[in-house]
Amino acid sequence: MEKSPENKANKRREFIRSTARLTLAIGIGGVSGLALSKSTKEEWVWQIDPFECTQCGRCAEECVLTPSAVKCVHAFDLCGYCDLCGGYFKPGVIDLHTGAENQLCPTAAIKRDFIEEPFFEYTIDEDLCIGCGKCVKGCSAFGNGSLHLQIRHDLCLNCNQCTIARLCPSDAITRAPASKPYNFKGDFTKS
C-alpha cells in the first residue's frame, strides 16, 4: 500500500501543491510587507487646495453625488463684509437689492444679512449649494477671495479615486490626511 504508484503520485502532487502554496504565501507576504513598511495608520480623504482651484465648474458636474459633495465655504475672517459683493451680485447690477435676478448664485444659496452700516454678512446654505464655484470666481476677482470651495466630508463618499480629482484641470484636489481634512483659507480662531 505504501509503495503503490497511486500513493506515490498523490504524495508528489501534495508536495507540488504545498510548494505552490508556500510560494503564493511568500508572494502575498512580500507584497503586503513592502506595502506595510510604508503604510499609515491614517486614512486619506480628498480635499481641494483653494489656492490651486481655478473654478472650472467641474466640481458641480463630475462628483458621483448629485448635488456634489463640494460646497462653497465662507472664510468669514477674510471677508470684507462689502455692500457690493462680487460673489453675491451678478456683474453689472445697478441697484443692490436681493432679488433673484440680481443674484449670481444659480441656486440662490448665498444669504445676505445686514450687520451694521455699511457691512453685510454672507452665509452659504449648503443644502442649496451645488459647488459650481461661480461665486468663488466673483469673490476672488472683485473681493478678498473669502469664498472658496471645499469638499464636505459629511457628504463625501471618499471614493478610492475621486472623479473630480482626475478631471480637475489644475490638479487642485489631492489626498489629505484624515486628521487634517480641510484647507480653509485664512486664520481661524477655532472655538
**Footprint of other proteins on 71-110 (CB under 8 A):** 73-82, 84-86, 91-94, 104, 106
> Which CB atom, from 2 or from 6, has the smaller least distance to other proteins?
6
Rounded CA gap, 189 and 174, in Å? Answer: 25
Q: 44 near 175, Cβ under 8 Å?
A: yes
Asked if 155 interacts with other proteins (CB under 8 A), we say yes
Asked if 40 interacts with other proteins (CB under 8 A), we say yes
Q: Which residue has the cell 472683485?
A: 142
Rounded CA gap, 126 and 145, in Å? Answer: 18
Least CB distance from residue 149 to other proteins, whole Å? 11
Asked if 173 interacts with other proteins (CB under 8 A), we say no
Quick note: the x/- pattern for other proteins over 43-62, rule CB under 8 A, is: xxx---x-xx-xxxxx-xx-
Question: Is 163 strand, coil or helix?
Answer: helix
Quick note: the x/- pattern for other proteins over 105-144, rule CB under 8 A, is: -x--------xxxxx-x-x--------xxx--xx-xxxxx
Does residue 152 come out as left (phi exceeding 0), alpha (psi in the -120 to 50 range) or beta?
beta
Size of the site for other proteins (CB under 8 A): 99
Residue 48, beta-bridge partner list = 173
Contact with other proteins (CB under 8 A) among 98, 112, 128, 159: 159
Least CB distance from residue 45 to other proteins, whole Å? 5
Contact with other proteins (CB under 8 A) among 2, 38, 101, 127: 38
Rounded CA gap, 103 and 144, in Å? Answer: 19
Rounded CA gap, 55 and 71, in Å? Answer: 12
Rounded CA gap, 90 and 12, in Å? Answer: 81
Asked if 181 interacts with other proteins (CB under 8 A), we say yes
Q: 190 near 75, Cβ under 8 Å?
A: no
Asked if 26 interacts with other proteins (CB under 8 A), we say no
Least CB distance from residue 97 to other proteins, whole Å? 14
